[in-house]
Amino acid sequence: MSLSNGFLPVNKEEIKELGLEQLDFVYISGDAYVDHPSFGPAIITRVLQAHGYSVGMIAQPDWKDEKSIAVLGEPRLGFLVSSGNMDSMVNHYYVSKKHRESDAYTPGGEAYKRPDHAVVVYCNLIRKTFKKTPIIIGGIEASLRRMAHYDYWSDSFKRSILLDSQADLISYGMGEKSIVEIADALQSGLDVKDISFIAGTVYKTKDISGLYEYELLPSYDDMKADKALYAKSFKIQHDNTDPFTGKVLVEPYDHGVYVVQNIPQPPLTTQEMDDVYALPYTRTYHPMYEEAGGIPAIKEIKFSLISNRGCFGGCNFCALTFHQGRTIQVRSHESIVNEAKAIIEDKEFKGYIHDVGGPTANFRHPSCQKQLKYGVCKNRQCLFPKPCNNLYVDHSDYLSLLRKLRNLPGVKKVFVRSGIRFDYLLLDKDDTFFRELVEHHISGQLKVAPEHICDAVLSKMGKPENAVYEAFIKKYKKLNQQMWKNQFVVPYLMSSHPGSTIKEAVELAEYLRDIGYMPEQVQDFYPTPSTMSTVMYYTGIDPETMKPVYVCKNPHEKAMQRALIQYRNPQNYDLVKEALIAAGRTDLIGFDKKCLIKPRNMAKTYQNDRTVSKNGGKGKKTGGTERNKNQKNIVKKKKSTIRNNHSKKGARS
């Protein structure tokens, strides 16, 4: 049941307004309350509501006040807890571990409205007041920390979040199916400690005698003592993320405790996806935030459409394999078009649909037909290191969808701003989608993610070799020329990824020099939980091969690698020079067009010359003024010398 404003209850008065004495579930979120299908808490609460359960929302409770967790009273069936749409640590900190200045998921963008490790803090707060009430945790933070994991921010190896939070269950992945099964089990009268049979969940137990066909992982203590064991464990976990081929995983802890991960839930069918996105979302933030200026994050997604989930791209630095899985799940055209029509009716809509996509916009079907029956392959990727022979490449469905959307009355433009997998795009022998993408769906610049240009680094990233990106750029430019368009490519680049030394960072800088591009922003590799790259960062081992891999951990070296990508920035001069010396590439310091920087003193003279030139020699800027004064003084001295010489000559004569 929803209130007259369409939202779920946020206080006891609203619970009474619904004619209820007690809610079935109370959802606690680290985000402000936004009732939009791009927000995980909105989906889970609406799904439960659609199955007949009453749910209330406590958004961003004051974790320093125990009463804040009890404002809706004790729920009949349990508390649901998540950090929100982001991991709370990623939300709080840059990769440098410095605090972010704002939070797009908080009223007015204000920072620090949620605690570090929000799920653990919220759950422990609940346990102080409600000793036995079931707690189910979910969302990205719980999902990616469901087993023992490396925590970058504390530089430590942590236990499963299930243990540290004192929660009873984890609903991992997207959670729509598992949360309903959990609710039904609790409703039937089962004790939460007996709910051990639901796919897509993690539970703790001291008795595994009833399990069969499970994989026993190394114990937490053994992995903490030996990083190589953690690398092996993670590889096993990575190979068991598919509902068709995955096994139950068991991770031992001390005192005879086991953390058990059940196999993942099956992917949603198209009809199930449609049903989820057809629920009665208000599609905006709660009106209680108006005075604070609303929730900034809504601007990014208000006029965007989600068309798919999952990704078979398999990038090593991405956690999608662990959270959404590798099987593509899609909504029907009818479902997406209907949502677009609702967007068009919004009074703030200006005719532009900002995005139609998902994790990878141009994935609209499973990577191969075998996947639908047998699941994804355990020991191979679909696109890396080379495309699989069974890969099914076809953009016709996505193209048809985009055509329908751009022909809707009231729509001026439909943009594609989600990531485009360019290597997959090139594999399509039919250029129709590529041509129409360039002609209709780019807002001046297309964002793609080559990430690097050195094949040695790309192989550790799980990305295609640089020659593929070069072929894509060549074709993209050709299509733009044919259509008389002046559209650009904005490549996302990453510094300091495992496998990248100063040598590879210099090669990337040289590449940027040759194409005449300096990115405004650079992403330093961010070791977030449950990715292959993070395991490499922590262990120094590639889990795929169990061979050593170079890892840049020194903050100063990381700064040098990052500075090389922006070598033209004067503020980076010292770091770039130091990096070039360290790499033995002083040949790149000089005046040749191939050089990255000039020698420092000459660089200053060159800069002053440019300042004088820009000001027409009038010296309007400080550097120019001082230079002009110096020039005038030199002229005066020369004239004085000439006069003195003349007078001396006259005296002698």
pLDDT in tens, 442-483: 988 898 999 999 999 999 999 999 999 999 999 999 999 999
The pLDDT, as a whole number, for residue 182 is 98
Q: Tell me: the pLDDT tens digits for 546-585?
A: 999 999 999 999 999 999 999 999 999 999 999 999 999 9
The pLDDT, as a whole number, for residue 311 is 94
Q: What is the 3-state secondary structure (H, E, C) of 302-363?
A: CCEEECEECCCCCCCCCCHHHHCCCCCEECCHHHHHHHHHHHHCCCCCCCEECEEECCCCCC
* Rounded Cα gap, residues 254 and 265, in angstroms: 29
What the block records as the tokens of 211 is 């399990």
Domain boundaries, the chain: 12-202, 444-598, 604-652
Band (pLDDT 50/70/90 cuts) for residue 637 is very low
Report the candidate in 394, 514, 520 with the shortest Cα–Cα distance to residue 445.
520
The pLDDT, as a whole number, for residue 538 is 98
Angstrom CA distances, 418 to 30, 304, 447, 448, stand at 25, 10, 8, 9
Mean pLDDT for the chain?
A: 91
Q: Tell me: the pLDDT tens digits for 468-524?
A: 999 999 999 999 999 999 999 989 999 999 999 999 999 999 999 999 988 887 899
Hey, which bits of 452-595 come out as E strands? 488-495, 523-524, 541-542, 547-548
Judged against a pLDDT cut of 90, whether residue 629 lies above it is answered with: no
The CATH classification number of 444-598 equals: 3.30.750.200
Phi and psi dihedrals of 317, rounded to 5? -90, 5
What the block records as the tokens of 225 is 């003592």
The pLDDT, as a whole number, for residue 520 is 80
Q: Tell me: the pLDDT tens digits for 638-649?
A: 444 434 444 433
* Rounded Cα gap, residues 70 and 55, in angstroms: 14
* Rounded Cα gap, residues 457 and 452, in angstroms: 7
Q: Tell me: the pLDDT tens digits for 231-264?
A: 999 999 999 999 999 999 999 999 999 999 999 9
Q: Tell me: the pLDDT tens digits for 381-429?
A: 999 999 999 999 999 999 999 999 999 999 999 999 988 999 999 999 9
Residue showing tokens 């191969």: 368
The pLDDT, as a whole number, for residue 186 is 98
Quote the distance between the C-alpha of residue 608 and its chain's center. 42
Instruction: Give Cβ neighbours of residue 51 (< 8 Å, ≥ 6 apart).
Output: 180, 183, 184
Torsion, CA 460, CA 462, CA 468, CA 474, rounded to 10: -90
Backbone CA torsion sign across 39, 43, 49, 50 = positive
Phi and psi dihedrals of 322, rounded to 5? -80, -25
Q: Tell me: the pLDDT tens digits for 160-197?
A: 999 999 999 999 999 999 999 999 999 999 999 999 99
* Rounded Cα gap, residues 360 and 172, in angstroms: 21
Band (pLDDT 50/70/90 cuts) for residue 602 is low
DSSP of 11-72, one letter per residue? Answer: SHHHHHHTT-SS-SEEEEESS--EESTTSHHHHHHHHHHHTT--EEEEES--TT-GGGGGTT
Judged against a pLDDT cut of 50, whether residue 623 lies above it is answered with: no
* Rounded Cα gap, residues 486 and 480, in angstroms: 7
CATH architecture type of domain 12-202: 3-Layer(aba) Sandwich (3.40)
Report the candidate in 94, 174, 317, 231 with the shortest Cα–Cα distance to residue 548.
231
The pLDDT, as a whole number, for residue 605 is 44
Average pLDDT over residues 102-126: 97
